[in-house]
Amino acid sequence: MCRVFFHVGLVCVLFGLAVAELFSINPRATYLRTNQDTAYNTVPFALADLSLFPGDFIRLQQYGDYKPGTAGSHHDTSTNMIAVFSGSNILLSSDQLNRVQDANDAGIDYTTGVTYRGSLTTDIPEDFFVSDVYVQIPEGAAYLFIAAADSLYYDNSDPDGDYAVDITLCTCPIVDLNSDCLVNLSDFCILASQWQDIPADISADIYPQPEGDGFVDILDLAVLAENWIAAPSCE
């Protein structure tokens, strides 16, 4: 069964027994600054409507493609997508650089280019690139703006209607020690720094679950090894 959330459009696609919830993204809409460009305003996702809240980890997957421009040389093959969290759904006028008034920093920063006309700066420090990424919803965030990463929007189109994003809630591995929702060398370094110690905050005391035994030793290392390179479980 597909849970129904409405935002522009929704497509439910079966992959074996799994159901992916794909939200359509309009490639003519943006939250970036524009110039001499009749772009639409991005309509944000209300996180609470998706049962998502600050502190949650989500997986964002970009699907499909769009056609940039109307010239014959342009094809329906562009896939670039960006996103930014915000504390409100307010989007200022298109001539403003910081249009997302209450933007919250998250993910790995992505640098957008200048406008096609006038070469005006569009880059803001809070947004990030969307391909297949895990990101934690920052404190204060209540909305998520998603758009195509482009420099001119008025002539963008999506002929086959497949440009979309999948937004999935994730459960982090229980031995994720640095809260990045992955188990890797960073977590091992944390465990090593607490080896055979009883620090005030024993974050690497992961055996036995859920309380630990008050000591970081080979038993905790074994649990980390069993979950090495574990990724989030996303629904």
Summarised one tens digit per residue, pLDDT across range 16-28 is 333 447 899 999 9
Strand blocks (E) in the chain: 10-15, 18-24, 29-30, 40-41, 45-46, 57-63, 81-86, 103-104, 128-129, 132-136, 143-148, 164-171, 233-234
What pLDDT score was predicted for residue 69?
Answer: 84
Domain ranges of the chain: 10-171, 185-234
What pLDDT score was predicted for residue 71?
Answer: 66
List, for the chain, all residue ranges whose pLDDT scores fall below the cut of 50: 1-20
Pairing type for strands 40-41 and 29-30 reads parallel
Whether 224 contacts 178, CB under 8 Å: no
What pLDDT score was predicted for residue 185?
Answer: 95
What pLDDT score was predicted for residue 73?
Answer: 62
Give dist(CA 58, CA 52) in Å, integer.
8
The residue assigned the tokens 């979950």 is 227
Whether 63 contacts 49, CB under 8 Å: no
CA distances from 26 to 108, 130, 164, 172, 211 (A): 23, 15, 8, 31, 47
Whether 100 contacts 82, CB under 8 Å: no
Helix axis angle, 218-226 relative to 185-193, nearest 10°?
170
Tokens of 209: 């679950």
CA distances from 30 to 22, 117, 136 (A): 19, 16, 22
Tokens of 167: 């937004």
pTM (whole model) above 0.95: no
Torsion of CA 102, 107, 110, 116, to 10 degrees: -50
Whether 124 contacts 75, CB under 8 Å: no
What pLDDT score was predicted for residue 104?
Answer: 98
